[in-house]
Chain A
Amino acid sequence: MSEIKSGRIKLRSKYIFLAEKLGLGSAFALSVLLGVLFFTLVLFYLRASDNLRYLSFGSRGLFAFLQSFPYALVLAFIVMIFVAGVIIKKSGAFYHKPFGRIAVGLIGLILIVGVALTFTNIAEHIERRAFDGSNPDGMLFRPLFGAGFSKHDGGLAGKIVDISGKYIEVQTPFEVVKVDLSKLEEIPKGEIKKGVFIVAIGERKDNIFEPVNIQVMEGDDMPMIQRGVDRRFGGSAQGIPQAGSVGFCLAHCAQTGGDKIFCEKTCINN
């Protein structure tokens, strides 16, 4: 008591406690928001990339599915839930309710809001910003989409740009891959022709992919792969043409075999 009277021990300012509470509250809100966002991105990735398509090949597509799975996104989502949980536990804000119930409620909320956000174009917007080199904020997300745009040994997804004999050339978001069709074990579902998107399982041997099964995809089945291919092979020096723009139309037209005059006439006039 004498130390208190002498003033050697002082009360901590109420603003310190206020700042602590605000900081903790902000950290909690941020972790929940990021949790929602990452969950939306996971759903978006599964819907828009080639990942889930590999499962349509049955157990043989499992390897390709695992290789293209968005581990980084899922991990980021789990980390955010964990952080939010730790903040709740440490702050003791909801100690009157069992922590398990709070955790289930929190995860449920994140999942519901995350699903609701898939009906907006926020995930696509983030994907576009992530791969447009001029957005430093978007680049933070680029590693999270990495699995979708990297080389997989067991699977392939992309656009056919050339056919010659038993070989076809496929543009993926990563590279142009030569594909040897002689090892096909099943007749491809759909017509193999220039300009169509395919997804295949098989294996790589010396820069040549040998598929055992191929599926031809409909136009918008893998929009993320489509955009990835357009970004890599259909981009202009000034940047990446947006869907619906003249630049996008020209790039797309050129890739599908149209000659320059025809493409200009078609795209510019329309």
Chain B
Amino acid sequence: MYYSSMTLSVNLSDEQLVIEIRERDKELYGEIIRRYQTKLTHYLRKFIRNGDELEDVLQEVFIKAYRNLFDFNADKRFSPWIYRIAHNEALNHIKKYKRESFSLDDQEWEIMDESIDLKKDIDNNILKKRIEDGLASIKDKYREPLILFLLEQKSYEEISEILRLPRNTVGTLVMRGKKILREYLVKHSYGK
């Protein structure tokens, strides 16, 4: 029985899965965890460097999402909803421990580099560090949509739902964020 419901759950959309969990089988929540564990770990790593802390926050995200499943409107997409919980938990964590840091994976700084179109004549290690510092230095309101758009590959619509901002505002913030980051990098990479 368990095997068959788990097999069935693989074919369900996130939203259908949530309805199943709420109404029939709570154990199907394992499938939600499986689908989002890697994605949310990847996202949370932007805010939390320490592995143990990240694990704790991630666990808190899944617990919170589970407890509040009835708050989710199944007519909407599940992904932005759980990302919003993760986003809020990450910010709460930063606020609680007063740690404002930022870290990028190896490929991520290259994505940022391509996106903001910097010249390639800077040493890669230095550039990665500069991008991390630049992202850490810009205001949250620019950094958050920029991360979601460039690194999490979210659409403006999804970012709008995660950050609860109008779609056009998201577009403006991403554009300005890129510009500010580019200016920061130009100033700090060539200025020295």
A contacts, CB < 8 Å to B: 1, 3-5, 9-14, 16-17, 92, 95-98
Contact = CB atoms under 8 A, between A and B. Distances in A.
Chain A residues touching B, majority SS: loop
Contacts of B168: 98
Interface string B149-192: 00000000000100011111100000000000000000000000
Interface stretch (B22-30, B41-49, B113-121): B22-30
B38 interface: no
Given A97-B166, A98-B169, A1 B67 contact: no
A5 B28 CA distance: 10
Interface of B: 22, 26-27, 29-30, 33, 63, 66-71, 160, 164-169
Nearest to A97: B166
Contact of A96 (B27, B70, B71, B166): B166
A16 B69 CA distance: 12
Nearest to B168: A98
A16 to B, nearest CB: 8
A14 B70 contact: yes
A23 to B, nearest CB: 14
A9 B164 CA distance: 28
A11 B160 contact: no
Contacts, number: 43
A109 to B, nearest CB: 20
Contacts of B70: 11-14, 16-17
Given A1-B30, A5-B27, A17-B71, A11 B164 contact: no
Given A4-B66, A12-B68, 19 more contacts: A1-B29, A1-B30, A1-B33, A3-B63, A4-B26, A9-B63, A11-B22, A11-B26, A11-B69, A11-B70, A12-B67, A12-B70, A13-B70, A95-B160, A95-B165, A96-B167, A97-B166, A98-B166, A98-B168
B67 A11 contact: yes
Contacts of B69: 11
Considering the complex of A and B, which 5 residue pairs feature the smallest CB-CB distances, nearest first? A14-B70, A95-B164, A92-B164, A17-B71, A98-B166
Contacts of A12: 67-68, 70-71
A98 B169 CA distance: 8
A132 B94 CA distance: 56
21 contacts: A1-B29, A1-B30, A1-B33, A3-B63, A4-B26, A4-B29, A4-B66, A5-B26, A9-B63, A11-B66, A11-B70, A12-B67, A12-B68, A13-B70, A14-B22, A17-B71, A92-B164, A96-B160, A96-B167, A97-B166, A98-B168
Contacts of B26: 4-5, 11
A10 B67 contact: yes
B36 to A, nearest CB: 13
A95 B66 contact: no
A11 B71 CA distance: 10
A122 B43 CA distance: 56
B22 A95 contact: no
Contacts of B66: 4, 9, 11
Nearest to B68: A12
A11 B70 CA distance: 8
Most chain B CB within a 10 A radius of its CB, from A5, A13, A14, A96 = A96
Contacts of A9: 63, 66-67
Contacts of A95: 160, 164-166
Contacts of A98: 166, 168-169
B178 to A, nearest CB: 21
B33 to A, nearest CB: 6
A10 B165 CA distance: 31
Most chain A CB within a 10 A radius of its CB, from B27, B33, B71, B160 = B71
A12 B27 CA distance: 16
A14 B169 CA distance: 32
A97 to B, nearest CB: 6
A98 B166 CA distance: 6
A72 B27 CA distance: 57
Contacts of B165: 95
A10 to B, nearest CB: 7
B5 to A, nearest CB: 13
